[in-house]
Structure 1
Amino acid sequence: MQINDLGVVLLLALIVFIIVIITKGIVIVKQAQVIIIERFGKYLQILTPGINWIIPIMDKPHLMEWRENRDYMDGSGRVRSVPITEMRNVIDMRETVYDLPRQSVITKDNVGIEINALLYFQITDPINAAYKVESLPTAIEKLTQTTLRNIIGEMDLDQTLTSREIIKSKLQVILDEATNKWGVKVNRVELQDIIPPAAIREAMEKQMKAERDRRAMVTEAEGTKTAQILKAEAVRESEIKKAEGMKQAAILEAEGISEAKIKVAQAEAEAVKIVASTVAQSSNPASYMISLKYIEALTKMTEGKDNKIIYMPYEASNVLGAVAAIKDLTGGVPAAK
């Protein structure tokens, strides 16, 4: 009985051991993650997303240093991001954002500035990332810092402040080429802050203020100039319109006078024709007209209460002839009874 009981105990222990081994050997890998398995310290395989099985004790996951940013609230109530380094047996294949700490660099014209950047990278080959570099996050950080110093050291301060795109593109190309052997793809780089010294910032602010004042003065002067030009053009247009109006009025007045004179001349001609046809029956029409003008002229000369004119006709027969002609025209005046 004791032997049988011992056999049962051993059998139960074996079953429990097998169950533990199977349980410990089941590894579930999440999507977009992989696990590198080593057997007795040597690379064995990569576990892909899903249910996988390994032999416990013999197979172990490779531990890899990983760094991520974690937010915390400081004493002033502001949220700050701090990089945390830890050892993981899971390799994340998704794109990772790494906030590089702020560092001091010197420009080509010997001006010290502070700069920090964001690095977006992705592990494409987990085997190279695990075995080709000792600490992938540290290597990427140091490579980015030294590369950034070299790029900024070749540029002046003004060029550094205005050439963010050039700096980002150069930094991305250099980092992508350098990290390719580590199984890492650098997708893009973003510069967060470029902070010059306080004295430089104060001088830049003064320069910007002076530039804004200059632009305001130029804008005001251009506005005044435009207003004066528009005003002069308006006056010129007004004078032109006025002159054209006066010209048109003078033309119309002249045309009116001309038409009036034509009408008067036509009326006189018509009167002369009528008089001529009437006078021709009894006397000379020419003598009649001369006598009529002579009398009109004599009447105008004697107008005015202060005028004293002594008129001596040079030929009395002309006056008598004119009177006779008028008498003939009118048919004579009947004598008073």
Structure 2
Amino acid sequence: MDPFLIFLILLVIVILILVTNVKVVPQAHAYVVERLGAYRVTWDTGLHFLVPFFDRVAKKVSLKEQVIDFPPQPVITKDNVTMQIDTVVYFQITDPKLYAYGVERPLSAIENLSATTLRNIIGELELDHTLTSRDVINAKIRTVLDEATDAWGIKVNRVELKNIIPPREIQESMEKQMKAERERRAQILAAEGEKSSAILVAEGEKESAILRADAIKETKIREAQGEAEAIRLVQQALASGIKMLNEANPTQAVIALKSLETFEKLADGKATKIIIPSQIQSLAGLATSLTELIRNDVPAAEEDKDDKK
């Protein structure tokens, strides 16, 4: 056989062996490496080489947070009510070596431990307390699981009760209670709506009454202001007339004439008693004397006419 061909074959075999023993660990992963069946090292992210025929990758571990949804588990409460509860566990591998060698089938171990812990916790609670204490139950289960899984290189971050399924008769009773509660709330909302409507109507009537009263008040104020303005204008006109008379410097005869005109207007009224000033009385007497003289002159003139005839 050609030595060169043998060399090429050996070179290809060596290259294949080297290539197959070059390992790249991706992000958020770890490789547990064994040498001759015993734990050797844990590889983190990066490029690594295996010693051919001696080393091997025993386990590839994901360091990301993982979620397990366990099927419903039958549990019995303190008051002997059987129900179904399924849980969701969020966990993360913190030590790949312990995870690889700590327990066989760790996920199954977590499921069994979760079911046992759940039964123990629910067995100490009554049905009503179980339905209203999810947070307390979650915290207790997480504490127990976290302590137990430390030896397996696992950290339990949180536990959630996904569903709590009580027996059929209890479900029907709860549905009736919920229906009654919804009806009660609907009645309360309807009553509150009617109350709000009545309040709005009353407030509207109140505002309307206030507006009407304000309108009446404004009308009366304007009427009073109009009357006051009319009186002011009349008084102003009288004052202007008196001022004009004063500026014209009227004689006593004019003043006496105006007094007689005023007296005439007063006499035409319905007053039962008239107080006549002294000056007007003298004027009245003077007018009477003049009237008598005129009457006496008229018969004398008629007699003269008869004598001449």
TM-score band (shorter)?
Answer: 0.5 to 0.7
- 1:90 maps to 59
Shifted more, 176-185 versus 108-117: the winner is 108-117
Look up the SS of the partner of 1:263 in the other structure. helix
CA distance in 2 between counterparts of 1:52 and 1:295 reads 143
1:184 to partner: Cα distance = 1.6
Q: What residue in structure 2 maps to residue 45 of structure 1?
A: 40
Is 1:122 aligned with 2:96?
A: no
Aligned residue for 1:210? 180
The normalised TM-score by structure 2 is: 0.66
Aligned length: 260
| TM-score, scaled to structure 1 | 0.62
CA distance in 1, matches of 2:94, 2:214: 84
Distance 1:290 1:180, change over 3 A: same
Q: In 2, Cα distance between the equivalents of 1:51 and 1:259? A: 114
Q: Against the structure 1 CA distance between its residues 295 and 185, is the aligned structure 2 distance closer, same or farther, given a 3 Å change threshold?
A: closer
- Contact preservation (8 Å) 2:33, 2:43: no
Within-5 A mapping of 1:53-132: 53=51, 55=53, 89-95=58-64, 96-132=66-102
Q: Are 2:279 and 1:281 equivalent residues in the alignment? A: no
What's 2:144 paired with? 174
The letter of the residue matching 1:289 is T
Moved more, 105-114 or 154-163: 154-163
Cα pair distance change 1:37/1:294, threshold 3 Å:
same
Distance 1:265 1:37, change over 3 A: closer
CA shift, 1:141, in A, is 1.8
RMSD (Å), alpha carbons: 4.1
1:291 corresponds to 2:264:
yes
CA distance in 2, matches of 1:323, 1:258: 42
How is 1:231-242 mapped onto 2 (pairs within 5 angstroms)?
231-242=201-212
Aligned partner of 1:34: which letter?
Y
| Aligned twin of 1:193 | 163
Identity fraction in percent: 42
The CA distance in 2 between the partners of 1:284 and 1:160, in whole Å, is 116
> After superposition, what is the alpha-carbon deviation per residue over 1:207-243, rounded to whole angstroms, capped at 9, x for unaligned?
2222222222212221221121112112111111211
Structure-2 change in CA distance of 1:270 and 1:290 (3 Å): farther
DSSP 3-state at the match of 2:71? coil
Contact 1:29 1:35 in 2 (8 A): no
Cα distance, 1:251–1:291 mapped onto 2, change above 3 Å: same
Change in CA separation of 1:195 and 1:231 when aligned onto 2, cut-off 3 Å: same
Write out per-residue CA displacement over residues 73-132 of structure 1, whole angstroms, 9 at most, x where no aligned residue: xxxxxxxxxxxxxxxx53423344333221011234443221112223333334433444
Structure 2: how far apart are the matches of 1:47 and 1:295?
135
Q: Whose helix fraction is larger, Structure 1's or Structure 2's?
A: 2
Structure 1 unmatched runs, 5+: 1-11, 62-88, 302-317, 329-337
5+ residue gaps, structure 2, are 1-5, 273-280, 292-309
Which protein has greater RCO, CA pairs closer than 8 Å, 6+ apart?
A: 2
How far did residue 272 of structure 1 move?
7.0
Q: Map residues 133-152 of structure 1 onto 2, 5 A cutoff.
A: 133-152=103-122
- Contact kept? 1:29, 1:47, Cα under 8 Å: no
Q: Is the Cα–Cα contact under 8 Å of residues 37 and 44 in structure 1 kept in the other structure?
A: yes
* Deviation, structure 1 residue 295: 2.1
* Deviation of the 1:52 alpha carbon: 1.2
